[in-house]
Amino acid sequence: AERLCDEAPPLLHRTQLYTRLKSSIILFLMITEPLNFWAGKRREGQKDNKEPVYEPSTGLVLCHLEPCGAAEVDQAVRAAKSAFGHWSRMSGMERARIMIEAAHMIESRREEIARLEVVNNGKSITEARLDVDSARLCIEYYAGLSSTMAGQHVQLPGGSFAYTRREPLGVCAGIGAWNYPFQIAAWKSAPALACGNSMVFKPSPVTPVTAVMLAEIFTQAGAPDGLLNVVQGGQETGRLLCHHPDVAKVSFTGSVPTGQKIMEMASKGVKPVTLELGGKSPLLIFQDSDLENAVKGALMANFLSQGQVCSNGTRVFVHKDILPEFLREVVARTKAIEIGDPLLESTRMGALVSRPHLSKVLAFVEQAKREGATVLCGGEPYVPSDPKLRGGYYMTPCVLGDCRDEMTCVKEEIFGPVMSVLSFETEEEVLRRANDTTMGLAAGVFTRDVRRAHRVVEQLKAGSCFINNYNVTPVEVPFGGFKMSGIGRENGQVTIEYYSQLKTVFVEMGDVDSLF
């Protein structure tokens, strides 16, 4: 360890390697190796276009990203196409065995992957472990479904019949977001592979480190070389993937504007897309709610991953009769959230993903104040006492009171730890206001009245709804949005339909009855 750290390039300070990670040697090796991966090996990208990648908790350069151009993307897609030929002919049980082995390997490397996720993303180690668990569970779930892909038999007159075959699409492209790097890579690749497809995955250039580990794990688990490939880069790399003639489908997680561009590019080749986009989700808290659970639900709806969650319920509508008590409780608990080193077990809020993003979130808070909102707590830059962390991208979690529907903080996705609280009086009123948005990713309701709960959920225009909880995403359940929040679903049995295509076969058992 002493020799490796003495010889290490100045990507991470030597003291940081020793004091902030027990697995310092693993970290050094992982991040100095190439982050692109195809045909079963790590590969170099365009060395003359290297871009720095920063560690959010310290602000230090973590590594340098080598993006992929047209030649590299083509090599990755060709590797995926080659692997598809073998993988698609395997039985579902054969594919399942390899996927289960990959899941076991993820479980055995849980802490290592989680720590690298923290270093690359900035979220707390507690959350990162749960993300790794979600990735593993997703792979296990789709391994179980891989042998259930089946068609239908239809009996026709005269002994003739027809049947359907559910077949894979081919090479799928996955484009991930920076808030859940490893988990999103698994959520996209697991159903694709279970259906017999191969995949080329492009992580966010902000968080490029852990997706390549998933690709390596599948290879080590016995998958054919090229089954899961990783190409690094930004918009140009994504454009090359979308336009590549051998890519059959594109699955994207990210912002609405980028999703619109991807949908437009995919349309040139009439390629199906899955789009999991942004949200400005409502959380409705009625006067008969269990206040303790409602407060906890509001915190979970706003402050997971430093508020950088697309499904967050950032518009918190609280009935006027319980608003004062709710605000007292939610502000007190928000102030108590421990901010700091995301690798410490006690930390509940780490660093935002980048300095530009931190500045953007803080600017939203300032704009909210100018428009008349009251900052009840937080909304300021935070400087940890640990000198190693003083260059990190931290802020105090914020609760905004006196919010109105027309305010920017209520209408636009902030994607940071900012909760906007609004008052309401009637069910009809709050439903109208909750649905008054172009997005519809998620929504939640807290009430003890079971009839009201189901009545309200029925009228909420959102793809993922929660009753007396929030931001719960079991892999067995479909996740996705209405309106401009996306197309298609991730997770759940229905996702098999988005990574496969149906072929109809007609079988004539008699003579042709010709009109000619």
Does some domain include residue 414?
Answer: yes
Do the beta carbons of residue 233 and residue 201 sit within 8 Å? no
Q: How far apart are the first and last CA of the chain?
A: 83
Q: Which amino acid is at 421?
A: V
Percent of the chain with pLDDT over 90: 93
Domain identity same for 239 and 383: no
Q: How confident is the model at residue 48 (pLDDT cuts 50, 70, 90)?
A: confident
Per-residue confidence (pLDDT) for residue 31, from 0 to 100: 76
User: Quick check: helix, strand or coil at residue 165?
Assistant: strand
For the domain that residue 303 is a member of, what is the CATH number? Answer: 3.40.309.10
Among the residue ranges 46-55, 122-131, 329-338, the one predicted with the least confidence is 46-55
Same domain, 305 and 268: no
Q: Does any domain span residue 22?
A: no
| Residue 469 backbone dihedrals phi, psi, to 5 degrees | -170, 180
The answer to whether residues 64 and 12 touch, using CB atoms and an 8 Å cutoff, is no
User: Model's pTM, two decimal places?
Assistant: 0.93
The rounded mean pLDDT for the chain is 94
**Whole-angstrom Cα distance, residue 230 to residue 201?**
5
> Which single residue is written with the structure tokens 């080598």?
66
**pLDDT greater than 70 at residue 171:** yes
- Exposed, middle or buried: residue 422 (CB in 10 Å: 0-12, 13-18, 19+)? buried
- Same domain, yes or no: 354 and 465: yes
Would you say residue 2 lies in a domain? no
pLDDT, tens digit (0-9, with 9 covering 90-100), for 232-241: 999 999 999 9
Checking if the pLDDT of 190 tops 60, the result is yes
Which domain, by its residues, includes 97? 36-277+490-500
- Mean pLDDT value across residues 314-340: 98
Indicate if the pLDDT at residue 27 is higher than 80: no
Same domain, 147 and 235: yes
pLDDT computed for residue 17 by the predictor: 44
pLDDT of residue 425: 98
Output the pLDDT for position 30.
54
User: 94 in a domain, yes or no?
Assistant: yes
Choice among 24-38, 44-58, 131-145 with the minimum mean pLDDT: 24-38
Let me know if residue 10 belongs to a domain: no
Question: Quick one: CA torsion of 254, 256, 258, 263, rounded to 10 degrees?
Answer: 110
Determine the average pLDDT of the residues in 230-258.
98
Query: Measured over all CA atoms, what is the biggest interatomic distance in the chain, rounded to whole angstroms?
Result: 88
Q: CA 412 → CA 363, 365, 371, 423, distances in Å?
A: 13, 12, 14, 18
Does residue 276 carry a catalytic annotation?
yes
Does 19 map to a domain?
A: no
Predicted pLDDT of residue 4: 30
Count of residues making up the chain: 516
For 401, phi and psi rounded to 5 degrees? -105, 175
**Claim to verify: residue 164 and residue 287 sit in the same structural domain:** no
Whether 341 contacts 376, CB under 8 Å: no
Give the pLDDT confidence score for residue 7 in this predicted structure: 34
Mark residue 234 as left, alpha or beta (left: phi above 0; alpha: psi -120 to 50; beta: remaining): beta
- The label of the residue with tokens 């509001």 reads 298
pLDDT band at 23 (very low <50, low <70, confident <90, very high): very low
Same domain, 245 and 149: yes
- Tokens 């519809």 sit on residue: 440
Q: What share of the chain is helix, strand, coil (3-state, %, to 5)?
A: 45, 20, 35
Could you tell me if residue 239 is inside a domain?
A: yes
Looking at the structure, tell me whether residues 121 and 188 fall in a common domain: yes
Predicted pLDDT at 498: 98
The verdict on residue 206 lying in a domain is yes
Report the domain count for the chain.
Answer: 2
What mean pLDDT do residues 202-215 have?
97
Q: How confident is the model at residue 16 (pLDDT cuts 50, 70, 90)?
A: very low
- The residue from 276, 329, 413, 490 that is catalytic is 276
287 with 406, same domain: the answer is yes
Please check whether residues 373 and 495 belong to one and the same domain. no
| Residue showing tokens 């997680």 | 253
Least confident of 14-28, 168-182, 300-314: 14-28
Q: Helices (H), strands (E): how many in the chain?
A: 17, 22
225: CATH: 3.40.605.10
Rounded mean pLDDT of 374-396? 97
- Measure the CA–CA gap between 165 and 185, rounded to whole angstroms: 27
**Pair 380, 250 in one domain:** no
Kindly tell me if the per-residue pLDDT of 294 is higher than 50.
yes
Residues 476 and 494 in one domain: no
pLDDT at residue 2 in the model: 35
Question: Is 50 exceeded by the pLDDT of residue 312?
Answer: yes
Q: Are 287 and 305 part of one and the same domain?
A: yes
The predicted structure's pLDDT at residue 35: 96
User: Mean pLDDT throughout 509-513?
Assistant: 95
pLDDT tens, residue by residue, 61-81? 999 999 999 999 999 999 999
**Contacts with 425 (C-beta within 8 Å, 6 or more apart), sequence order:** 319, 320
Asked if residue 13 has pLDDT above 60, the reply is no
Mean predicted confidence (pLDDT) in 219-237: 98
- CA 473 to CA 349: how far, in whole Å? 20
Whole-number percent of the chain with pLDDT over 70:
94
Let me know: does 400 contact 375? Beta carbons within 8 Å: yes
